[in-house]
Structures are given as C-alpha cells and as structure tokens.
Amino acid sequence: MDLPTLWFALIAVLWIGYFVLEGFDYGVGSLLPVLGRDGADGAPAETRRRQMLGSIGPFWDGNEVWLLTAGGATFAAFPHWYATLFSGFYLPLLLILLALILRGVGLEYRGKVDSAVWRQRMDWMIIAGSALPALLWGVAFTNIVRGVPIDAEMEYVGGFWNLLNPVALLGGLVTLTLFLTHGGLFIALKTDGRLRHDARALALRLGVVAAGLAVVWLAVMHGSTGNALSWVLAGLAAAALVGGLVAARGGREGWGFTGTFVAIALATASLFVALFPDVMPSTLDPAWSLTIENASSSQKTLGIMTWVAVVFTPIVLLYQSWTYWTFRKRISGHHIPTDVHHAAATAETRDRTTA
C-alpha cells in the first residue's frame, strides 16, 4: 500500500472512531428533554438528567480528540482536500464548531451555579450542541461522497444551499436518528432503574426509524457511487443494526449497543470505500475531482507522519481503553445526591394541594 492510500485509510479509521464514540455522546445530549423528565418511579427530572450526563462525563472530551486528529491528519496528509473542504463547507463546519463550543460550556458549567434556571439554560446548550452536529455531519458526508461543484483549480464553486439538497438532508436525518439510537442504548447500558428501561424502549422505537431511513440513504448513496465492497459493508451495517435492536429488545443492552457501534462503523467505512480513490468528487467534470494523488502531501511529509502515528497512536488507544475500563459500571439513582430544591418544591405543591 502506498502512503497516500495508507493515510486515506487512516483518516477513514479516525472518522469511524469519532462517529462510533462521539455518536453516543450526541445521542445522550439530544435525548435530555425526552428522557430527562420526572420518572414514573418518582425519580426527579434532575436526578435522571444527572444520570444521563454522568454516563458520558468521563468520555465526551476524550472522544472529541478523534475529530481533532482527523482534521489535523487531513490538513497534513491531504492539504488540497482540507483547503477545498473547509472553504467550501465553511458555514456548516462553523455551525458545528459553535455547537461543540456550546455543548462543552454546558457540560462543564452546568453544576457551577445552584440554580434551576441556570441548569435549564445549560441543558438547552447541551441539547442544541449535540443535535446540530449529529444532523450536519450527515449532510456534510453525503455531499462529500456524492460530489460537489469543484472547478479545475480545485476550488468549490457552489453555495451553501447547494449542500442542503434532499439526499444530503436525508443523510442528516440518518446520522441524527442513528446517534439517538446509539445514545439511547448507551444510557440503557450505563444506568439502572427506571431510566434504563425507558432509554431501551425509546432506543428501540428510534432504531426502527433509523433503520428505515438508513436503508433508503445507503441505497441512494451506493447506487450512484458505490462498488461491490461498499455494498457488502452497507449490507453488513444494516444487519448489525437490526441485530442490535433484536438483542436490545431481549434486554441485552450490551449486545444492542455493540450492534449500533458496529453498524455506524461499517456504514462509515462503506462511504470511504465508495469514495476511494477520490477524496472529493467534482460534479462539474470528473477530471477535476480531488483524488488521493493530486490532493496529497509529499512522500517525505507522509513518511514522517507515518512514524509519528506509529509511536503515538498506541499510547492514545491505551489511555482511552483505560478510561472506559475504569468508568465501566452503571450509574444508579442512589449515586446522585438528593435534589433538595426538587424535594422542597414537591413538598410545597403537596401542602398547597392539601390546603
């Protein structure tokens, strides 16, 4: 394998790692207004929300490293791809960046002020900062794989509205519903009590929607740009999603989460396989497409990057594995300190009703 092909494959692996790990973070944050309500078992909404956020607390910032590494690797290995992508997709990528900033602020500062109004504002920042990237990544990758208007100078000559075509919006709905399903199963895997059962039931309903949308989207994507291997990977992704939902329905959240994990990984891999050897196809003229050859750095640069990756990648993987192993246990309601404000409000409501 030559170095441009190797680095194309490594960048694909980085995006796979980002989507399968950050995907459940997006799902958990987006589900706050749905699952973070007062439970039928009497658990207050604040307790359920803190369970949900506690499930991703040790992981979310480490999962974002995959995105930073993917962006940095693209910049160093394929500078023309990076330049065209970030200039042509400037607005959607800016929106994703702002959303991630909002989410980070919400997660870090939610517990800094003892105020229900403050926590509510932080929650909406987390919700918006989770749902918007989950939608826009699907839009972006659909456009990358299907092609965009690129001229002979390797410049994107379309506008923002070119990116919001029907197939791209369908791709956004696919990633959003897939991440919601992934996040719901992660909550079911990492929490206990009523929240666990509510999350599993919701994930099953969302999974059916995600499966239907994904089948249509993958068929459209691979029907125009796919090959035999990409079709096989897409089929395996669909089978993994269905298998995960069946396992979750039987109460096996671990296998259910594994199913969505594998489904997202294989679906992402199928897109990169369908894209290869292009990195950004041109809809104006195939000869103007960016490929792994005309968009790559020099062999010397790629060689240095390869040795750096060989040294540091195992260290990062070991650290993340240790983190997941350390925080592997479920979070129950009794792990959350009593919400005094909620108890006081409930008592006041009960006294008024009695009076």
pLDDT of the residue at 338: 55
Contacts within 8 Å (CB) and 24+ apart, 345-354: 346/44
* Amino acid at the residue 285: D
> pLDDT by residue (tens digit) across 127-164?
999 999 999 999 999 999 999 999 988 888 888 888 89
- Give domain status of residue 307, yes or no: no
- Give domain status of residue 113, yes or no: yes
Q: Would you call the peptide bond into 133 cis, given omega within 30 degrees of 0 as the criterion?
A: no
Q: From the centroid of its chain, how far is CA 241?
A: 16
- Give domain status of residue 323, yes or no: no
- Give domain status of residue 204, yes or no: yes
Containing structural domain, residue 13:
3-298
- Give domain status of residue 135, yes or no: yes
- Give domain status of residue 15, yes or no: yes
- Give domain status of residue 155, yes or no: yes
Q: Where are the beta strands (DSSP E) in the chain?
A: 278-280, 290-291
- Count of domains observed in the chain: 1
Q: Would you call the peptide bond into 277 cis, given omega within 30 degrees of 0 as the criterion?
A: yes
Say how far apart CA 177 and CA 205 lie, in whole Å.
Answer: 10
> pLDDT by residue (tens digit) across 164-180?
999 999 999 999 999 99
- Give domain status of residue 262, yes or no: yes
pTM metric for this prediction:
0.90
Structure tokens at 41: 């078992």
> pLDDT by residue (tens digit) across 77-133?
999 999 999 888 999 999 999 999 999 999 999 988 888 999 999 999 999 999 999
